Each structure stands twice: as C-alpha cells, then as structure tokens.
Chains A and B, each alone.
Chain A
Amino acid sequence: MKLRLWPYLFSQAVINIMNNRLVHLIGLGTMVISLLIFGIFLLLFVNLSAWIEGWGSSLTISVYLEDGIGDHARNSVASFIKRLPDAELKRFVSKEKALSDLRNTLGPQAGLLEGLSRNPLPASFEVLFKEVGGKDSDPRKIKEQLEKFKGVDEVQYSEEWVNRFKDLMKIVRLVGLIIGGLLFMGVLFIVTNTIKLTIYSRKDEIEILKLVGATDWFVKIPYMLEGIIQGIFSGVLALLTLFLAYFFISKEKAYFFSFALLDFSFLPYEYSLAIFLLSVFLGLVGSLIAVDRFFDI
C-alpha cells in the first residue's frame, strides 16, 4: 500500500466510525461486556489459585528430638532451621507441653494418661513453610538433612498431603483452562458476529469501492483500522470497569473477606496487558473475517 494512501485510509476509518456511531456503540458494548466476563473470570481464577496455593503450600514439619538431647545439640538444630529459606521456626514443644497438649485433646479421656510412669512423648520443633515446591524447600531434602543431626529422632511431614495439594492445583488449572478457553471462543464468536453485522450494513459501500477500482486492501484496511480502534477502546473500557469494580469490592474487603483473611488482588499486569492485546486482536481479526465475506465482486 502506498504511503500516500495511509492518511486517507486512516481518516476513512474515523469517518466510518462517526457515520456509523450507533452500530459501533453496540459493537463496543458487546465487546466490553464479553471482555468483562472474561476478565472477571480471570480475576477470580487468579485469586482463587493464589488462595489455594497460599493455603496449600504452607506446610508444617515436625522435628522430633531424642530424649535427653543436650542444649548445644538442640540449639544447632534450631539455628539450622532458622537459616532455611521460606521456613519459620514456629515453636518449640517440650515434652511436658506435648503431654499437656495431648491431655487437652483427649479431654474427658485424659484419665488414660494417668497410669504412665514416664512421659512417652518426644520434644519437637514445629516448622512452618510458607512456600513449598521451590528447589530450596523440597520437604524430602530438608527431612534428610535434619535427620542427620545428632539428637534428631525423626522428621515428619505429610507427604500425602503435599501430593494431594499438587493434584488439586492441577485440577484447578485444567478447569480454569477449559472454562477460560470456552469463554475465549465465546468472546471471539460474539465479537466477529457483531463486527459482521456492522460491516453487513455497509456491503453496498464495499461493492461500490470495488467497482471504482479499489484494491482489496484499500477496502479492507479502513475496516481493519476500525476494528483495531474499536478493540483499543473496548480493551481500555473493559479493564477500567474491571478495575473500578475491583476497587470498590476490595474497599469493602473487610466486610466481604474478613472471615477468611484472604487477600484479594487485581490482575497482574501481564494479564491486564493480555486482555488489552486480546481486545485489539479480536477487533482486527473480527473485522478481517467479517469483511472477507463480501469480496466476491
């Protein structure tokens, strides 16, 4: 396309939008709503994953100590734990504390413990991992390292639970992918059809342009520019609406979420950018698909 034609093509796109305000407004509305639904889904999905991840990956490890472990050995275990990344030494449970905890748990049946001649429970450290799965926080490796310490009897963590959590995340991702994919196709379908509608109302115009000797691209480019412009506006509007909705909901967060102490955050900027680019892409592809149908003149 000759450089000289671009100002004409661009002004043509703007004029077309102005001349077909209503149709474009309808198209814009449809696109914003579709993108908004997609965006709300993404927002919920991202937060839900974060919640599950945060909740699931905080793993407690119990480090059981041998009876009669010296202060020195105990301190070296404690300082090793403190140096572990992502780990927090939550508390030390002495033999006496362990027994009284058990007594509390048993409640009325605590009498069972009366007959014991000595305290059978070991002392332990409880360690909380905020993040599990990284290469520095593989529970199996930490268990191995800790069990080499003098005075450490056994290290326990629930392997089963970690695996189950990983499976759960897999399912959540898969379901998210499927729902997201379906929504995406729905949005594509709606958008291309709306644009088809806006172009259908102008198929006479396309015919006439072709009849006076316009090349396909000369006809197509203004429509593509229109689609891109519509995509830009829809994307910005949808994101803005989504953000405002998020803003007001999170302001009421104390009310909505206080019971769970959950963090509700906005889409990471990659996702926002993706929605915006998706919108532009949809506008462009939608108008290309739509305009191609009228080209057998």
Chain B
Amino acid sequence: MIQLFRLSKSFGPSTALSDLTMRVHKGEFVFVSGPSGAGKTTLLRLIFGSEKPTSGHILINGINLSRINRSKLDLLRRSVGFVFQDFKLLPAKTVFENVALALQVIGYRRTFVRKRTHQCLKLVGLAEKEKAFPLQLSGGEQQRVAIARAIVKNPLILLADEPTGNLDPDLTEDIMVLFKTINMKGATVIIATHSRELLKGGAQRTISLIRGRIVGER
C-alpha cells in the first residue's frame, strides 16, 4: 500500500505539489491525470524515492521513505518498476542489455536473465530489435524498451510516466492490456498521463491534478 500524507514539493520558489494526501491500495490500478506541469512526474518520482519531499510523508508498505537510508531504498526499488517519461536508456548498451540490466543489478542468474529478457521484449513487440542500440530506434520503440525494462523484474509496484505518449492507438491498446495483465497478477499500477484518450475507456480510479493539487477523483 502507498500512503501519501500532506505531501508538498517545491523547487525553489515554484511549487510542484502542495499538501497532497491520498492512498493507493495494494493491487490497485490508478491513473494520475492533469495538464502539463501539473506535477504528475514529480509525484511518481517522490513515490519512487528519487526525489525528496519538501514536507510530508510517503509510506510504502508501511515504510517511511524519509526514514530509510539509501541502501534500504535500493532494496525497495528492486520491487518497483518505473517507466520514465524520457525513457532513460543507456545509449551505449543494446536493447537487450538495457532490459537485462534491471535483472543483473539484482543478481539473477545469467540463464534466467536471458530467458526473462527475451520474454519481455517479445511482450512489447521488440523481439527483432534486441541487438539494436536505443538511438537506432523510433521514439515509440524506445518507449517500449523502457516499458520492458520496468516490467522485467515482475515489480510489486509499477510507476509509468506517460507510457504511451509516443505510441500509435493500436500499440497503446496493447500496452494497456499488458499493464492490466500485470495488475491482475497482483502488482499495484500507477500511470501518469495527460491523454484523455487513455482515460476514456475504463472505469479506473483517476486522480486529477492541477498545479500540484488534487482537484478531483473518479
């Protein structure tokens, strides 16, 4: 379970999030929506622990992120997948290596890493591009590499920041099905998006942010 309590984040004079309180239960599927600059990325980064709140608390399964040291955070991150809005792929590594990395850092066996990486690349439709380098791929393909890297370790929590921003409608649907499947298997999924298209279909819980505040929930 993810609990946010009176969470605020400022960057110098500008406030990205102010006084946010909410909770996401284990196994939930949640959208965070809002216009550009609303604070969606900031919110996900705070949950991921790669950004520290200015005030307030974040609890993940009862663990207060501001109370744990870095090596505990590293351990916690092993069960959290993050699809970065700007992908954050390593340009000098192949697609396969980029995805495998998320398993290697945890110390999985080589044979398992290979098998599981293949499997995930197939899931996102990139089995043929394994040996390519990120900069040789289209934007949508890079985005799917980022998605594969986030799901490869079977995370308990999946944070996806605008994961379909570069995908065509068909691929978008495929990826959403993929996320739903992961969710069915028990993972908590939080997706940040400003795409109305994405929000239209489902009856999912949606939290709307505007200028760092929750303005509605559905």
Interface string of A69-112 (1 = CB under 8 A from B): 00000000000000000000000000000000000000000000
Interface string of A193-218 (1 = CB under 8 A from B): 00000000000010111111111101
Does A116 count as interface, using CB distance less than 8 angstroms?
no
Residues of B within 8 A of A4 (CB): 107, 109-110
B74 x A216 contact (CB < 8 A) = yes
Does A5 count as interface, using CB distance less than 8 angstroms?
yes
Interface string of A224-264 (1 = CB under 8 A from B): 00000000000000000000000000000000000000000
A213 vs B73: C-alpha distance when bound (angstroms): 9
Interface string of B84-117 (1 = CB under 8 A from A): 1000111010000000011011110110000000
A2 vs B108: C-alpha distance when bound (angstroms): 10
A2 vs B106: C-alpha distance when bound (angstroms): 10
Q: Which of A212, A218, A297 has the most CB of B within 10 A?
A: A212
A-B contact count (CB 8 A): 47
Q: Which residues of B contact A (CB under 8 A)?
A: 48, 50, 70-71, 74, 77-78, 80, 82, 84, 88-90, 92, 101-102, 104-107, 109-110, 149, 153
A205 x B90 contact (CB < 8 A) = yes
A211 vs B74: C-alpha distance when bound (angstroms): 9
A150 vs B13: C-alpha distance when bound (angstroms): 100
Residues of A within 8 A of B80 (CB): 213
Residues of A within 8 A of B89 (CB): 208
B107 x A213 contact (CB < 8 A) = no
Does A8 count as interface, using CB distance less than 8 angstroms?
yes
A5 x B107 contact (CB < 8 A) = yes
Q: How far is the CB of A200 from chain B (nearest CB, A)?
A: 16
Q: How far is the CB of B127 from chain A (nearest CB, A)?
A: 21
A-B contact pairs, 19 of them (CB 8 A): A5-B104, A5-B107, A8-B104, A207-B88, A208-B89, A208-B90, A211-B48, A211-B77, A211-B82, A211-B84, A211-B88, A212-B101, A212-B105, A213-B77, A213-B106, A215-B74, A216-B71, A216-B74, A218-B105
Does A19 count as interface, using CB distance less than 8 angstroms?
yes
Q: How far is the CB of B158 from chain A (nearest CB, A)?
A: 13
B50 x A297 contact (CB < 8 A) = yes
Within the complex, which residue of A8, A19, A213 is in contact with B74, where a contact is CB–CB below 8 Å?
Answer: A213
A212 x B107 contact (CB < 8 A) = no
Residues of A within 8 A of B149 (CB): 212
Q: How far is the CB of B66 from chain A (nearest CB, A)?
A: 15
Q: Which residue on B lies nearest to A12, using beta carbons?
A: B104
Residues of A within 8 A of B104 (CB): 5, 8
Residues of A within 8 A of B110 (CB): 4
Residues of B within 8 A of A209 (CB): 101, 105
- Number of A residues with CB within 8 Å of any CB on chain B: 19
Residues of B within 8 A of A5 (CB): 104, 107
From 169 to 201 in chain A, residues with beta carbon under 8 angstroms from any chain B beta carbon are none
Q: Which residue on B lies nearest to A296, using beta carbons?
A: B70
A207 vs B110: C-alpha distance when bound (angstroms): 24
Q: How far is the CB of B69 from chain A (nearest CB, A)?
A: 11
Q: How far is the CB of A292 from chain B (nearest CB, A)?
A: 12
A19 vs B90: C-alpha distance when bound (angstroms): 12
A60 vs B41: C-alpha distance when bound (angstroms): 87
Q: How far is the CB of B194 from chain A (nearest CB, A)?
A: 23
A214 vs B106: C-alpha distance when bound (angstroms): 7
The answer to whether A213 and B90 touch (CB under 8 A), given A8-B104, A218-B105, is: no
Residues of B within 8 A of A213 (CB): 74, 77-78, 80, 102, 105-106, 153
A215 vs B104: C-alpha distance when bound (angstroms): 11
A213 vs B84: C-alpha distance when bound (angstroms): 14
The answer to whether A212 and B102 touch (CB under 8 A), given A2-B107, A19-B92, A297-B50, is: yes
Q: How far is the CB of B116 from chain A (nearest CB, A)?
A: 14
New contact pairs (14) apart from A5-B107, A216-B74, A297-B50, CB-CB < 8 Å: A4-B109, A19-B92, A205-B92, A208-B89, A209-B101, A210-B74, A212-B102, A212-B149, A213-B74, A213-B106, A214-B74, A215-B74, A218-B105, A295-B70
Residues of B within 8 A of A295 (CB): 70
Residues of A within 8 A of B71 (CB): 215-216
Within the complex, which residue of B70, B74, B88, B106 is in contact with A208, where a contact is CB–CB below 8 Å?
Answer: B88
A215 x B84 contact (CB < 8 A) = no
B105 x A215 contact (CB < 8 A) = yes
A211 vs B49: C-alpha distance when bound (angstroms): 10
